[in-house]
Amino acid sequence: MSAIIIDGAMAHYEALGRGRPVVFLHGWVGSWRYWINPMQVASTSFRAYALDLFGFGDTAHEVSKYSLESQAGLVNSFLEEMGIGKVALVGHGLGALVAFTFLKQYPKNVDRVMAINFPLNYEAVNARLRVPNMQDLTDLMSSRSPDAAAALLDAPKSDPQAVSASLAGLQASDLFASIRNLLTPCLFVYGESDPLIAPPQPDRSLPMHMRQINLENIGHFPMLDNPNQFNRLLTDFLTLPSGASPAELQMKEEWKRRVR
């Protein structure tokens, strides 16, 4: 286990590979652990990091650090401690909220963002997540994929207060509007069968540097439900030239009907 001290608190991370940096940020149910397979795939060409956010996994559980701004501050301090400059961010659920909060605060430090099951607004969040019972959520998620139970071993460590604080931040702000015009390439990926976050309908008014792909028969964890499909999409996005629009991604047959 690798860890560093940030603002007097321990932050746990794991790292693989060499190359341009990519940071994976987990969601509300789990920890860095369910990124293991995508990290291994990315590590063939990139330096892949996965970071436990405050209140999750083996990073410190301190209520005062649970806001989206504090979580983004954790990412910034981590990058500074590791000597990482401009970075690609891959965020899932909560991790996507943190990634976009970081983008809003430090736009020059972000090369691109892949946001998985990012709630565009508070209304997109299922009531079971708004009043979180971590055992209930873990049972719900673990039953949906044969690999999920092992990947979500750290889910019971999640602090419900950290979940609630992030959703309060979502409710109090229009995060999507604040990052929409920053020109950072952003790929939005949604599982159409996600029980926690309602995927938005296609919106042809998205700017050219943003693209959404909805995946059929996929739930809250695309990286677990269909690893091959997810990893191919991840690799295609990460290997685009810096600044290139995700609209340039080559169409794949399995998601051809669900792209905007």
How is residue 88 written in tokens?
């690609």
CATH code, domain carrying 40: 3.40.50.1820
The tens digit of pLDDT for each residue in 201-229 reads 876 778 999 999 999 989 889 999 899 99
Residue 36, CB-side half-sphere exposure with 13 Å CA sphere = 10
Q: What distance in Å separates the CA atoms of residue 144 and residue 142, rounded to the nearest whole number? A: 6
SS3 label, residue 119: coil
Binned at pLDDT 50, 70 and 90, residue 247 comes out as: confident
Q: What distance in Å separates the CA atoms of residue 202 and residue 199, rounded to the nearest whole number? A: 9
pLDDT at 197 over 60: yes
Angle subtended at Cα 130 by Cα 128 and Cα 133, rounded to the nearest 5 degrees: 55
Q: What distance in Å separates the CA atoms of residue 73 and residue 193, rounded to the nearest whole number? A: 32
- Tally the domains of the chain: 1
Q: Percentage helix, strand, coil, to 5, in the chain? A: 40, 20, 35
Which residue would you say has higher pLDDT here, 4 or 103?
103
Backbone angles phi, psi at 104, to 5 degrees: -60, -40
**pTM of structure:** 0.93
Which domain does 7 fall in, by range? 2-258
The tens digit of pLDDT for each residue in 77-117 reads 999 999 999 999 999 999 999 999 999 999 999 999 999 99
The residue among 113, 214, 129 whose CA lies nearest residue 171 is 129
How is residue 100 written in tokens?
């976009």
